[in-house]
A and B are shown apart, each in its own frame.
Chain A
Amino acid sequence: MLRECLGKELLFFDGAMGTLLQDQGLNAGEYPENWNITRPEDVIEIHRKYFEAGSNIVLSNTFGANRLKYADGIYELKEIISKGVAYVKEGARLGAARGQKAYAALDIGPTGQLLKPLGSLSFEEAYDIFKEVVIYGEAAGADLIHIETMSDTYEVKAAVLAAKENSSLPVFATMMFDEKGKLLTGGDVASAMALLEGLRVDALGINCGLGPVQMISILEEIKACTALPVIINPNAGLPKQNEKGTYYDVDPDEFAQAMKQIAGKGAAVIGGCCGTTPAHIEKMIAACRDIIPEKGIEPGRTLVSAYGAAVEIGDQPVIIGERINPTGKSRLKQALKEKKLDYILREAITQQDSGAHILDVNVGLPDIDESEMMQEVIRSVQGITSLPLQIDTADTVTLEKAMRIYNGKPMVNSVNGKQESMDTVFPLIKKYGGVVVALTLDEQGIPETAAGRMAITEKIIKEAARYGIDKKNLVIDVLAMTISSEPDSAKVTLQALRSVREELGVRTVLGVSNISFGLPSRPVINANFFTMAMQNGLSAGIINPSSEEMMKSYYGFCALMNYDSNCEEYIRIYGQQPAADQLVPKAVEKSLYAAIEKGLREEAAQITAELLKEEKPLDIIDTHLIPSLDAVGQGFEKGTVFLPQLLMSAEAAKSAFEILKGEMAKAEQSQEMKDRIILATVKGDIHDIGKNIVKVLLENYGFEVIDLGKDVEPEIILQAVETHRAELVGLSALMTTTVVSMEDTIRLLRKEAPGCKVMVGGAVLNQEYADMIDADFYGKDAMQSVHYAQDFFNGNNK
């Protein structure tokens, strides 16, 4: 019923609930949902008034009702929700006197906690919390599920999945944006809408945070992203503060006039949020009653997103960084096998800094659990960059798990024209949303002609449509094969690119560097082909963004085609570069010792590379690196060198080590078994800077650090001790409340891994406290931890 009239006639929400409850005596800090038990008649009365004002959809008084808030057991969550829904129905019975359509919406607000990796709530926990609410709400007879006031894309994804997987009701979702059109967690309008559309909500939009006037431009942005019905539920103006707290001052008439404008601009469902009253809603309905919402027009934009700004694969080509893929990369293979995520994270950031817009993530190696690793890498990479990711795997299980935990609307690599491939990949795109790379090959292989590749493209578009996947969510890879074995290959690829782009109107992608396989000086061919491909309609190039030649092609192309207005980007990047003949070779006389002492990263790396021509890696470590680090460490302990300098030296040493490790990995010279130390910030604690400082220094001194991250359960630490057969654990905690978890962890380790020693550190700790919780060692600063570890592994304090 609701689904049928949605978008065809203007529907009206109710206004604020909390504001009215406060007027009737709800205390600051008291949960409004408690009134479902304590003052039901007041709740019903408010619903009745809204129906009487003409609302079609009224929200149950369950905004904050979830198991996190109702953990104390005073009220039962199920009762709060069931009654909440029942009261809307009762309100409709009493108040829908105008005979309007009346729907009871199960209202779901945010959990009130931040999700991992920055907060402490896991995606799966958030899902379970919402699932419980959805089940109670549907059982109580709700007509739809309304998810609102969301400021985190990850949380809204958990909520929408919970709603869709555990009920058959229509699902609406609205986000809260600020005046700059951003979510509290940093996302923009396009990224949030791309995500919600991908998850196939029935209607989407914005509520709270802003008044109606400020929402107009956001409505326009939403309409530029999607054809779905749009919901606009503003506050009665921008929030203002006085000593009693927040208040709103747009009156019903002013509100109604602004809402009329909003309805005229194509909103399909409108109502009010904080500060609005039945009077606001009544005036709004009177002003808008005769407006028929304009039909949504599909803007056809290819959007991918993470939690930050969306990336559009449009007329201006974008760059997909190819570096997180183990094929042919020994260091990355090693990092994956050893679960050294830091290496992968640095690859991610390097590509971002080099200009990548999207990052490909492929972790397929024969002897690792691809699905687990993919999830871990995605979570970690999403902790440090907001670039959208391209999930690159041939394994369907890995793909589904990765798409599920991904924060945003991902790019997926890939589907192809084989029926089996389409049968497995398209259902996942349908469920989770995404832009999928479609390879123009099928059961018969790769067609030799452009026409053959066109035909497969058409087949794929048609099959996708059967799943309701619009062609805007397909990016066609017409495939580049090396010209060294197929002389016409580049010509065929370019022709196919142009046809697919111009005749079928779909976006395109290529793994560009395949073209030169087997030839010398590959960058020459690659960069030229890249330019030619862009000129022939390439929308996205999968390339190495650290390759200077490729980026020159890219920035040159964008400047020439006027995608780079006033050549600003081009000038920013190339304007400062000195001419080649003025380049002075850097770091000629400086020693590695001095470079580390002074904390000069680039120099340290450069000099190390030079030294490698004459010395062995291990000799460089012993004769240059360690003495310099020792000198700095001693300075730190004497109070002549300070923490920032100590760490600059540590980072310089690290850059030297990176060069040496690369060399050793190349020579497959496996290093001697290193002494292993497990590090973790304890459960409940999200401040990990202290632990990270200790880690950098321990690694400098040659220890192998297994970093378990922050907010780590005691059981996970024990498990790591057992798997890695570690004899030393370092724990950090910032606050008295989390020292308790530290104590729990030590107790568990004493019991289950009695041979293992524990060193501790953190702001609230001191020797006395450390003794009290039974730690073996208290490190006042990072250098002390290093000394303890050295003594320990030398057998001095075992």
Chain B
Amino acid sequence: MDFRIRETIRYLGYGKHAVDEQTCRLIAESFEDLELVVRERFIYRIFAIEHCGEYQIRIGTIEMKSKYLIKNMMGCSKAVLFGATLGIEVDRLLQKLAVTDMAKAVIMQACAAARMEELCDRMEAEIKAELPKPEQTMRPRFSPGYGDLSIEYQKEILRVLDASKKIGLTMTRGCMLSPTKSVTAFIGIKDQKDI
């Protein structure tokens, strides 16, 4: 089975249960409809990491307090900061489905989430391929809202990336990304492979 379909089924909460035929068909259909409105965009920059005290870490100009992020960045001297989005038309599609067919809306929501992950993975691979030294490796993505990293940092992240102008990625006053199918994250770059 396709990776994206597996992911979608996982998001829908099926666990190990078999998925009924009707749902399978709707998932396949939803991916087709989704592709018609997705307009993926992404942007990234690479910054130096500075540790400033036990709980403080600075990536580029963003100073953050987070034990989890520090742990994630252990052994890294640089970090990628990226933003990615599937675009606002996905949100419109979801709104429309919420009125016409909630079952489809829920399935589309899961498909879009899987599609978003796919975009992040692809981006990550592209960035990795361009790293100057072959021995460099990348840590797993780490986003505001994970562990103790406050989503309030979303504001500075978007500002540093100039994300609103460059890729149309904004946030609400409650620090939610808008379009909703969007991600921002840090990825630590290690100079050598873990031993």
- The answer to whether B94 and A689 have CB atoms under 8 Å apart is yes
A198-206, A423-431, A646-654: which lies at the B interface? A646-654
Beta-carbon nearest neighbor of A642 in chain B:
B14
- Chain A at the B interface: SS class: loop
B17-25, B49-57, B64-72, B114-122: which lies at the A interface? B17-25
Q: Which residues of A contact B17 (CB under 8 A)?
A: 639, 642
- The answer to whether B43 and A246 have CB atoms under 8 Å apart is yes
Q: Which residues of A contact B167 (CB under 8 A)?
A: 184
0/1 interface trace, chain A 686-697, chain B, CB 8 Å (1 if under): 111100110010
0/1 interface trace, chain B 15-48, chain A, CB 8 Å (1 if under): 0010110110010000000000001000111110
CA distance A17 to B109 in the complex (A): 40
- The answer to whether B102 and A386 have CB atoms under 8 Å apart is no
Report if A688-B170 is in contact (Cβ < 8 Å); known contacts: A109-B165, A643-B12, A643-B106: no
CB under 8 Å from chain B, chain A span 381-407: 383-386
Report if A689-B105 is in contact (Cβ < 8 Å); known contacts: A342-B99, A735-B176: yes
Q: Does A644 contact B (CB under 8 A)?
A: yes
- The answer to whether A28 and B170 have CB atoms under 8 Å apart is no
CA distance A741 to B173 in the complex (A): 12
Beta-carbon nearest neighbor of A382 in chain B:
B92
- The answer to whether A644 and B103 have CB atoms under 8 Å apart is yes
- The answer to whether B173 and A118 have CB atoms under 8 Å apart is no
CA distance A453 to B131 in the complex (A): 73
CA distance A246 to B41 in the complex (A): 13
Q: Which residues of A contact B14 (CB under 8 A)?
A: 642
Counting chain A residues whose Cβ lies within 8 A of the other chain, the interface size class is 35 or more
CB under 8 Å from chain B, chain A span 90-114: 109-110, 112-114
- The answer to whether B178 and A114 have CB atoms under 8 Å apart is yes
Report if A696-B172 is in contact (Cβ < 8 Å); known contacts: A642-B23, A735-B145: no
CA distance A345 to B44 in the complex (A): 39
Beta-carbon nearest neighbor of A29 in chain B:
B160
Q: Which residues of A contact B45 (CB under 8 A)?
A: 28, 243-245
Q: How far is the CB of B61 from chain A (nearest CB, A)?
A: 5
- The answer to whether A386 and B92 have CB atoms under 8 Å apart is yes
Q: Which residues of B contact A386 (CB under 8 A)?
A: 92
CA distance A650 to B26 in the complex (A): 16
CA distance A113 to B178 in the complex (A): 8
CB under 8 Å from chain A, chain B span 160-190: 160, 162, 164-168, 170-176, 178-180
Q: Which residues of B contact A692 (CB under 8 A)?
A: 98, 102, 105
- The answer to whether A736 and B99 have CB atoms under 8 Å apart is no
Q: How far is the CB of B52 from chain A (nearest CB, A)?
A: 17
Beta-carbon nearest neighbor of A68 in chain B:
B173
- The answer to whether A651 and B103 have CB atoms under 8 Å apart is yes
Q: Does B74 contact A (CB under 8 A)?
A: no
Q: Which residues of A contact B88 (CB under 8 A)?
A: 114, 118, 184-186
- The answer to whether B96 and A120 have CB atoms under 8 Å apart is no
Q: Which residues of B contact A688 (CB under 8 A)?
A: 98
Q: Which residues of A contact B135 (CB under 8 A)?
A: none
- The answer to whether A384 and B95 have CB atoms under 8 Å apart is yes
- The answer to whether B170 and A114 have CB atoms under 8 Å apart is yes
Q: Does A239 contact B (CB under 8 A)?
A: yes
Q: Which residues of B contact A384 (CB under 8 A)?
A: 92, 95-96, 99
- The answer to whether A346 and B99 have CB atoms under 8 Å apart is yes
0/1 interface trace, chain A 580-622, chain B, CB 8 Å (1 if under): 0000000000000000001101000000000000000000000
Partner of A383, one of B61, B92, B179: B92
CB under 8 Å from chain B, chain A span 160-200: 178, 182, 184-186
Chain A CB within 10 Å, residue with most, of B13, B176, B179, B180: B176
- The answer to whether A648 and B105 have CB atoms under 8 Å apart is no
- The answer to whether A29 and B159 have CB atoms under 8 Å apart is yes
Chain B positions near chain A (C-beta within 8 angstroms): 12-14, 17, 19-20, 22-23, 26, 39, 43-47, 60-62, 87-89, 91-92, 94-96, 98-103, 105-107, 109, 130, 145, 151-152, 156, 159-160, 162, 164-168, 170-176, 178-180
Can you list the 9 inter-chain pairs with the closest CB atoms, starting with the nearest? A684-B174, A647-B103, A184-B168, A243-B46, A29-B160, A120-B172, A648-B103, A384-B96, A112-B164
New A-B pairs, 5, CB < 8 Å, besides A185-B168, A684-B176? A109-B165, A151-B168, A644-B106, A644-B107, A711-B172
> What are 27 pairs between A and B in contact, CB < 8 Å?
A27-B61, A112-B164, A112-B165, A113-B170, A114-B178, A118-B178, A120-B172, A120-B173, A149-B165, A151-B168, A178-B39, A186-B88, A186-B89, A246-B166, A383-B95, A599-B22, A642-B12, A642-B17, A645-B23, A647-B103, A648-B23, A684-B176, A688-B98, A735-B151, A735-B174, A737-B151, A737-B175
